[in-house]
């Protein structure tokens, strides 16, 4: 059985691998989603990578991403909490490495996906994992532009099942 340190090292490697994929395929890019007669755009800022990993850190989000991208993230630079437990990070990180699937394959668009803490006006899913999106707003809650930002990566989430059930 793996030790706690070995498990954390494995998560560290997954974060670094995911940062490489994010950097090459998503960071700084904007994607257009068209469904029916509607559309929206999603952009992937580097400071939103941390939200998707499922870990906590004392580092600013951009520094966390930079360290991960350069392979310099250490085990001491992230940790787990009740809000962000090890089990969630272990589930999320393989999906985070596959996040580009939501930009270049057929997906479902969900409206009003509810979680315990937030209602995501829009989400994108391949039915294996779901990217919860938020409007791009400033610190005062004022809309900056019409772009959506990735805020949460949900894996096998009952929230998706609830939205799908409501659609039927």
pLDDT in tens, 25-34: 999 999 999 9
Task: Give the residue-averaged pLDDT of 96-107.
Answer: 96
Task: Indicate the Cα dihedral angle 134, 122, 12, 89, nearest 10°.
Answer: 110
d(CA 9, CA 11): 5
The per-residue pLDDT for 158 is 53
Q: Both tokens of residue 138?
A: 């400033």
Task: Give the residue-averaged pLDDT of 128-132.
Answer: 94
Using the predicted structure, report yes or no on whether residue 37 has a pLDDT greater than 70. yes
Single pTM value for the model: 0.88
Of 33 and 162, which is predicted with more confidence? 33
Task: Give the residue-averaged pLDDT of 10-37.
Answer: 96
Closest C-alpha among 166, 1, 168, 6 to residue 86 = 6
Q: 9-13, 41-45, 50-54, 140-144: which has the minimum mean pLDDT?
A: 140-144
Task: Give the residue-averaged pLDDT of 118-147.
Answer: 92
Using the predicted structure, report yes or no on whether residue 157 has a pLDDT greater than 80. no
The per-residue pLDDT for 2 is 81
Q: 29-33, 52-56, 92-96, 114-118: which has the minimum mean pLDDT?
A: 114-118
């Amino acid at each position: 059985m793996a030790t706690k340190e070995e498990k954390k090292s494995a998560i560290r490697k997954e974060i670094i691998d995911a940062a490489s994929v994010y950097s090459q395929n998503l960071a700084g890019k904007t994607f257009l989603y068209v469904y029916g007669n509607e559309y929206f755009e999603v952009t992937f800022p580097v400071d939103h990578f941390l939200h998707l990993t499922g870990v906590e850190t004392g580092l600013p989000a951009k520094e966390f991403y930079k360290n991960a991208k350069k392979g310099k993230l250490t085990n001491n630079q992230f940790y787990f909490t009740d809000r962000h437990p090890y089990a969630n990070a272990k589930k999320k990180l393989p999906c985070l490495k596959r996040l580009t699937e939501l930009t270049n394959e057929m997906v479902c668009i969900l409206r009003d996906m509810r979680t315990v803490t937030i209602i995501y006006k829009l989400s994108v899913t391949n039915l294996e994992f779901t990217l919860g999106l938020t409007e791009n707003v400033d610190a005062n809650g004022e809309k900056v532009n019409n772009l959506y930002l990735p805020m949460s990566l949900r894996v096998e989430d009952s929230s998706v099942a609830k939205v799908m059930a409501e659609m039927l």
